């Protein structure tokens, strides 16, 4: 039996982060994807019922989540025939570290007519570079500076060009496979890295994430390609497209705040990738 790493263990009606959940910014904090994945998992399990499908997840990460026992209280805000809305919080020691809301819809028929589409579809790495797998893998990266070149070494892509990543992410809960929605939430958080990564590393840390999906991802591997980055006075907005081997299926937006005093270099990212390989 394969020992698959995960971000959390279920303990005493809640969750305890595992060592793999440590953030690159601080080893005492839980990394963003872990929080996004945990809240997506909880919201889906409780509210994606009766045919409702999650289409939008908004996560606010306004306080450092620590390596402590964590609970996730939820509330259903609206329960209509076609639209359902629910909220969840990440609670530690009686304090809220993060929160999220989900919008779920009932699928229906497509309306008539044609619409504008993105001119160029993001391209995943070739199968010989990224074979199909359901197990967590070290992320791959590429940029427009060297089209078609993918590698797991961030320093090889430290430039000012558009960036993308291809990931089969870590599991959220020990012993539990990921659902497509939770998988999208985990990988979607990479929008921060893809849109805030320049030729001197990453100097912004995202405070939120809004994931919007037209369908669930097909397969275990998901790509994130940067679409835009706007920043001024230490505040940034980034938007990315999510894609799989079928094509693009959603978008993700993050807002970020400057963390220039603790900027992460690509060499530091290399060390993180090496430690998780």
CATH number of residue 227's parent domain:
2.40.160.210
Domain assignment present for residue 123? The answer is: no
Q: Is residue 203 part of a domain?
A: yes
Residue 1: the pLDDT is 43
Read off the DSSP letter of residue 125.
Answer: P
Is residue 95 assigned to a domain?
yes
Determine, yes or no, domain membership for 112.
Answer: no
Is residue 117 in a domain?
no
Does 122 map to a domain? no
Q: Which of 163, 168, 167 is closest to 147 using CA atoms?
A: 163
Would residue 1 count as lying in a domain? no
The pLDDT tens digits of the residues spanning 159-212 come to 999 999 999 999 999 999 999 999 999 999 999 999 999 999 999 999 999 999
Is the pLDDT score of 119 beyond 60? yes
In whole angstroms, give the CA distance from residue 8 to residue 15: 6
Q: Domain containing 95: what range?
A: 6-106+131-275
Residue 115 lies in a domain: no
Domain count, the chain: 1
pLDDT at 271 over 80: no
Please state, in angstroms and rounded to a whole number, the distance separating the CA atoms of residues 106 and 51.
6
DSSP-assigned letter for residue 266: H
Beta-sheet pairing, 140-143 with 14-17: unpaired
Mean pLDDT of the chain: 94
Give per-residue pLDDT as tens, 24-36.
778 889 999 999 9
Contact 167, 179 (CB under 8 A): no
């Amino acid at each position: 039996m394969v020992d698959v790493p995960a971000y959390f263990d279920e303990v005493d009606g809640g969750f305890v982060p595992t060592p793999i959940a440590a953030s690159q910014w601080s080893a005492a904090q839980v990394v963003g994807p872990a929080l996004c994945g945990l809240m997506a998992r909880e919201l889906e399990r409780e509210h994606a019922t009766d045919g409702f499908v999650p289409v939008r997840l908004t996560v606010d990460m306004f306080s450092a989540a620590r390596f402590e026992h964590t609970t996730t209280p939820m509330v259903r805000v609206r329960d209509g025939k076609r639209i359902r809305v629910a909220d969840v919080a990440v609670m530690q020691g009686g304090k809220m570290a993060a929160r999220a809301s989900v919008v779920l819809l009932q699928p229906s028929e497509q309306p008539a007519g044609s619409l504008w589409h993105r001119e160029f579809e993001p391209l995943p790495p070739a199968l010989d570079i990224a074979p199909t797998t359901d197990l967590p893998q070290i992320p791959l990266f590429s940029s427009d500076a060297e089209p078609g070149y993918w590698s797991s070494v961030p320093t090889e892509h430290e430039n000012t060009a558009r960036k993308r990543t291809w990931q089969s992410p870590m599991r959220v809960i020990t012993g539990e496979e990921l659902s497509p929605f939770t998988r999208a939430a985990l990988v979607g958080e990479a929008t921060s890295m893809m849109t805030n990564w320049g030729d001197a590393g990453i100097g912004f840390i995202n405070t939120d994430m809004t994931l919007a999906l037209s369908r669930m991802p097909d397969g275990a591997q998901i790509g994130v390609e940067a679409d835009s980055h706007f920043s001024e006075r230490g505040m940034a907005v980034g938007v990315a497209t999510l894609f799989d081997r079928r094509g693009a299926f959603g978008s993700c937006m993050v807002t970020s705040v400057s963390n220039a005093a603790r900027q992460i270099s690509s060499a530091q990212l290399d060390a993180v990738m090496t430690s998780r390989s």
